[in-house]
Chains A and B, each alone.
Chain A
């Protein structure tokens, strides 16, 4: 099982944080362009899902899957968006994203007086904690076995 990369977007679509662990295919465009492209796609999928759903879409868009990877999407009520790419057999990635939000973002960004919200996250401690959380998660660990 593999975790590829992670995006965090603010509610207005600013890329707050990006990191990657194992990404074999580079997009060939700058990180900023890629983030815009990604956000645009997510935005479209969200409105697509809410319009096309035959039933009341409770949570809306949760994930999509290609032949090679799965994109997991988690949005908070405040509009913060967490996007994680994993391989297809990884499970519970959504819980991992919720945990990231609860235990890392809230603690080390919101509670850090020196961090500006809605701006790219600079805090080294935050980066450290994100890495720690993902490396100790079973999704990441089982890759080496």
Chain B
């Protein structure tokens, strides 16, 4: 019982500034750490998959707690909608701005001001566009992990055309 009280406290969005940036700084260091272990370009891509895997494990666990008070979902779209609203706002303090689907297992989630990117650049310049994908690997894993725990096996890719907006492509693997 006591554990629950603490849990809800941490979940509230009015929490102080410190715990918010703690995640941002930790994320920065995770990215730097994984990249520092790679020496050449080819290895770098593999290193990002390690970051993605960390995201997967975190997402897999986090969904357990976030869905604690939810009823069961009707279908796949319902789950994706949950990801776009509740999941996203509890992690990034805003909802996904645009969701598109072809109704055959492909979803596109667009965030026009992604929290991990909006301190990096604006659409007025192309600076840092090359380096930014490394900041999305963790979140891709996060999405994949949480969907996996909801029973959806998928692949998630991210795409940035102008900072700080980005798109996550979710491709559900049909069984």
Contact = CB atoms under 8 A, between A and B. Distances in A.
A108 B122 CA distance: 11
A114 B120 contact: yes
Contacts of A128: 122, 124
B124 A112 contact: no
Contact of B119 (A108, A122, A124): A108
B135 to A, nearest CB: 6
B122 A113 contact: no
B50 interface: no
B28 A124 contact: no
A41 B149 CA distance: 62
A111 B119 contact: yes
- Candidate in B119, B120, B122, B135 with the most chain A CB atoms within 10 angstroms: B119
A114 B128 contact: yes
A128 B164 CA distance: 15
Interface string B112-126: 000010011110110
A44 interface: no
- Candidate in A111, A112, A114, A122 with the most chain B CB atoms within 10 angstroms: A114
A117 to B, nearest CB: 11
Given A107-B119, A111-B119, A124 B24 contact: no
B125 A124 contact: yes
Contacts of B70: none
A123 B125 CA distance: 10
Interface of B: 21, 24-25, 27-28, 31-32, 116, 119-122, 124-125, 127-128, 131-132, 135
Question: 9 closest A-B pairs (Cβ-Cβ)?
Answer: A113-B28, A124-B125, A111-B119, A124-B127, A112-B119, A125-B121, A114-B128, A112-B120, A114-B131
Given A108-B119, A123-B127, 8 more contacts: A113-B31, A113-B32, A113-B116, A114-B128, A123-B120, A124-B122, A124-B124, A128-B124
